[in-house]
């Protein structure tokens, strides 16, 4: 689909990540949790196109939300961070992507995210929660530092209200300036074995280059079938 959308709100979520709420202006965009849209943006040197995961649930009607990390080598992210303002109109295409959850495919979910890889995972968590699905969900999420842990408060609120959803966090580079009493270090096999209670779950792993395949290898080493695992680098 091709749509014109309007930026309703822009929020600085972390020092490097902004979220954008897009009004579809009367149109609808059916998608599965985990899919993305392509945005066509006018920058200083012409038009830039970038793909960004939808972070909102498909149950949110008439709007979608995305969250974008400012990455210097990705021009579309720079346009969104430095030029786009509230009330601007942008052109989008989608949805796209084969990394998504569909209801009825699993009796339990394990969602594993690294850094900005939380964005498609967030849509899945929100959908399971908002749809009231009777599916146990285990989220394991690693960020570089506490302040860069995108959606942490929202995830904690969802888990506090929904006993089916469990969230576990770890940071790789805590600092003395940021209080952090949680786990420190990358997601490793020890953490996976501690937190995954059902190895018959459906697994979704999303993170920076190399991380999803590494985690998938750990899961296979724990006896999880490759057909149970979906991975995406983002």
pLDDT per position as a tens digit, 124-164: 999 999 999 999 999 999 999 999 999 999 999 999 999 99
- pLDDT confidence of residue 44: 61
The pLDDT value recorded for residue 176 is 72
Mean per-residue pLDDT over the chain, rounded: 95
Q: Write out pLDDT tens, residues 215-231.
A: 999 999 999 999 999 99
Domain over 2-96 is classified CATH 2.40.30.10: yes
Residue ranges covered by each domain of the chain: 2-96, 109-233
Assigned architecture for domain 109-233: 3-Layer(aba) Sandwich (3.40)
Provide the pLDDT for residue 47: 83
Helix intervals (H) in the chain: 75-82, 118-130, 152-161, 189-195, 211-221
This prediction's pTM:
0.95
The 3-state secondary structure of the chain, one letter per residue: CEEEEEEEEEEECCCCEEEEEEECCCCCCCCCCCCEEEEEEEECCEEEEEEEEECCCCCCCCEEEEEEECCCCCHHHHHHHHCCCCCCEEEEEEEECCCCCCCCCCCCEEEEEEHHHHHHHHHHHHHHHHCCCCCCEEEEEEECCHHHCCCHHHHHHHHHHCCCEEEEEEECCCCCCCCCCCEECCCCHHHHHHHCCCCCCEEEEEECCCHHHHHHHHHHHCCCCHHHEEEEEC
pLDDT digits (tens, 9 = 90+) for 199-213: 999 999 999 999 999
């Amino acid at each position: 689909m091709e749509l014109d959308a309007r930026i309703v709100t822009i929020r600085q979520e972390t020092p490097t990540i902004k979220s954008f709420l897009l009004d579809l202006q009367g149109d609808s965009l059916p998608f599965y949790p985990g899919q993305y849209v392509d945005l066509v943006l006018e920058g200083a040197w012409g038009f830039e196109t970038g793909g960004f995961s939808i972070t909102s649930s498909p149950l949110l009607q008439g709007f979608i939300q995305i969250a974008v990390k400012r990455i210097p080598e990705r021009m579309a992210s720079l346009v969104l961070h430095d030029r786009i303002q509230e009330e601007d109109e942008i052109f989008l295409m989608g949805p796209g992507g084969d990394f998504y959850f569909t209801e009825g495919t699993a009796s339990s979910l394990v969602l594993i995210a690294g850094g900005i890889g939380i964005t498609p995972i967030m849509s899945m968590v929100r959908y399971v929660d908002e749809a009231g699905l009777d599916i146990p969900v285990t989220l394991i999420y690693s960020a570089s530092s506490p302040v860069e842990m995108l959606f942490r408060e929202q995830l904690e609120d969802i888990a506090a209200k929904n006993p089916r959803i469990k969230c576990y966090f770890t940071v790789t580079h805590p600092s003395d300036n940021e209080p952090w009493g949680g786990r420190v270090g990358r997601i490793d096999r020890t953490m996976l074995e501690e937190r995954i209670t059902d190895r018959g779950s459906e697994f979704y792993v999303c993170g920076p280059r190399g991380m999803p395949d590494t985690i998938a290898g750990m899961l296979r080493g724990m006896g999880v079938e490759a057909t149970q695992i979906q991975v995406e680098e983002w």
